[in-house]
């Protein structure tokens, strides 16, 4: 009888050990998948500081080429919103990417697209160009 109890206890310990190991592996693999960054917002003041400090970044203006040609945030490139799904791979993953659009909605959508595709440091200009109070390039 004692031998049967010892085997039951040993079997129970093996099962518990297996569950602990499996759980820790599951948690650690989920931590890697949960490291998806969140879309960050910047205001005029913050983006101006980033531009002035020459941070390692790309500013993407999502507006139509005609509007981009009239005025834009200094240093911005133009990838219209209707092209971002097919052209986002042109953007470097090792730089901050800041989106500028009319009011911020398209920047949010574009930023989330990048985050879903492995980009880490993605920003959206809060309120878009409508809220921009800094200098503009022409």
- What is the tens place of the pLDDT at every residue in 38-88? 999 999 999 999 999 988 999 999 999 999 999 999 999 999 999 999 999
Q: Could you tell me the pLDDT band of residue 23, with boundaries at 50, 70 and 90? A: low
Cα distances from 40 to residues 8, 71, 98, 111, 125, in angstroms, run 54, 24, 9, 9, 9
pLDDT band at 33, cuts 50/70/90?
very low
| Residue range 83-107, pLDDT digits in tens | 999 999 999 999 999 999 999 999 9
Residue 103 per-residue DSSP state: S
**CA torsion angle 22 27 33 39 (round to 10):** 170
In whole angstroms, what is the distance from residue 5 CA to residue 105 CA?
66
* Among candidate residues 78, 88, 76, 83, the one with its CA nearest the CA of residue 113: 88
13 confidence band (pLDDT: 50, 70, 90): low
Whether 53 contacts 75, CB under 8 Å: no
pTM for the model: 0.74
């Amino acid at each position: 009888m004692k031998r049967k109890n010892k085997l039951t206890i040993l079997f129970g310990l093996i099962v518990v050990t297996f569950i602990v190991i499996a759980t820790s592996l599951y948690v650690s693999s989920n931590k890697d998948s949960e490291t998806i960054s969140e879309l960050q917002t910047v205001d005029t003041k913050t983006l101006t500081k980033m531009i002035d400090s020459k941070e390692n970044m790309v500013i993407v203006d999502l507006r139509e080429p005609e509007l981009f040609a009239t005025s834009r945030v200094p240093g911005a490139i133009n990838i219209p919103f209707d092209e971002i799904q097919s052209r986002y791979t042109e953007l470097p993953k090792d730089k901050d990417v800041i989106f500028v659009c009319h009011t911020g909605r398209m920047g949010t959508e574009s930023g989330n697209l990048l985050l879903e595709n492995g980009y880490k440091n993605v920003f959206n200009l809060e309120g878009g160009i409508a809220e921009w109070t800094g200098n503009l390039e022409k």
